Amino acid sequence: MAILQTRGLDKWFGGLHVTDNVDFSMQPGEVHCLIGPNGAGKSTFFRLVLGEHLPNGGAILYDGADITRAKSYQRIRRGISVKFQVPGIFKALKVRQNLQIALQDHLSGHSLNEEIDRLLEFLKLKDAAGQLAGSLSHGQKQWLEIGMAIALKPKLLLLDEPTAGMTPDETHATGEMVQALNADGVSVLAVEHDMAFVRQIAQRVTVLHFGRVFAQGTIDEIVADERVAAIYLGETGHA
């Protein structure tokens, strides 16, 4: 059974058909990348999966259950988690407290503190634990948000351009984090522009174009697909 599946997913804004009859499916334990030129509907697809927008038609199934009209927080409680493109952290709170807020519904007391310490280690943020989250470097902010997202022990992790604005070293370290999580059994769906990063993590790739599924396959198949290259070249030659 697919961990995430959409059937005929449709979304209009005004007269604009942003997500057009999208059939998508990914298997549990998979790292799946969503690529496509700007305006292809990747972000809208994410928002639909998260419940920030409701679709005009079609269905979203998560782990076998229909979540098409579920509230965002209900989806999160079922095991979906997200890291936004612009780091969504609590800037005026300390790093440690950011993680505590993510964890406090699941753990308490001693085990809460132990888990926070474990996460800080994993995120390479141990020395910054007492700092205000707003004072972190851009890459560290990204990691902190990844930490908050994985603190929920998700079955499915959504990453919206996780490496945006990162140095090559930070990007590579992020890729290793994703692989470590995947080794623990977390399914990952990422929107990404950086093809080197996609190559590092992705097992399967879906290309969106004008709101439709344009191509699907392994990274090698996608890179070899001349039609995919054409839509990118038609734009700015991102790939």
Partner 1 sequence: MDFLSSLFSFAYQAGDAFAFLVLSACGLAVIFGMMGVINLAHGEFILCGAYVSTSATHLGVPLPVSILLGTLVAGAVGMLLERAIIRHLYDRPLDTIVVTWGVSMIATQGTLILLGSTMQGTGTPFGSIEVGGYGYSVYRLVLMAAAVATLAVLWLIFTRTRFGILARATIQVPHIAEALGVNTSLVYSLTFGLGAGLAGLCGGLYAPTMTLVPTMGSAFVVEAFVTVVVGGADIFLGTAPAAAILAVVKAALTSWEGQLAGQIGLLVAVIIVIRVLPRGLTGFILRERA
Partner 2 sequence: MPSHSSLGSALRLLEGPQTLGKGPAFWSGFVVVLALACIYPLFADGYDVGNNVYFFNWAFMALGLSLIWGYGGALSFGQTAFFGVAGYAYGVLTINFGDAYGFTFVSLVLATLIAALFAAVLGYFLFFGRISGVFLGIVTLSVTLVLERFMSQTAGPEWHIGSARLNGFNGMGNMPSLTIPWPGGDVVLYPDVPLYYLTLALLVLVYLALRMVVNSRFGNVLVAIRENPQRAEMLGYDIRRYQLGGFVVGSALAGLSGVLYTAWGNYITPSSMGMTQAALPIVWVAVGGRSDLTTTLLGTLLVLAGFQALTIYGSQYALVAMGFLLVVTVPAAPSGIIIGIGSLFSRGLKRRKAREAR
- Per rule CB under 8 A, is residue 22 in the interface with partner 1? no
Told to check if 12 binds partner 1 by CB under 8 A, we report yes
Assess 18 for contact with partner 1 (CB under 8 A).
yes
Please choose which of partner 2, partner 1, none residue 44 contacts, taking the beta carbon within 5 to 8 angstroms, the exact cut-off set by kind: partner 1
String of contacts with partner 2 for each residue 50-69, x by CB under 8 A: x-x-----------------
40 is an interface residue for partner 1 by CB under 8 A: no
121: left (phi over 0), alpha (psi -120 to 50) or beta: alpha
Q: Total number of residues binding partner 2 (CB under 8 A)?
A: 27
**What, of partner 1, partner 2, none, does residue 102 touch, CB below 5 to 8 Å by kind?**
partner 2
Among 7, 94, 124, 199, binds partner 2 (CB under 8 A): 94
Tokens representing 23? 């059939």
CB of 147 or CB of 211, closer to partner 2: 147
Distance (Å, whole) CA 109 – CA 148: 18
Specify the length of the chain in residues. Answer: 239
Q: Strands across the sheet with 57-62, in order?
A: 16-26, 4-13, 57-62, 65-66
Class of residue 71 by CB neighbours under 10 A (exposed 0-12, middle 13-18, buried 19+): exposed
187-191/204-209 β-pairing: unpaired
The verdict on 14 binding partner 1 (CB under 8 A) reads yes
33 near partner 2 (CB under 8 A): no
Distance (Å) of CA 173 to CA 122, 163, 179, 184: 11, 10, 10, 17
Q: Which residues bind partner 1 (CB under 8 A)?
A: 12-14, 18, 44
Q: Which residues bind partner 2 (CB under 8 A)?
A: 50, 52, 71-73, 76-77, 81-82, 84, 88-94, 97, 100-102, 104-105, 145, 148-149, 152
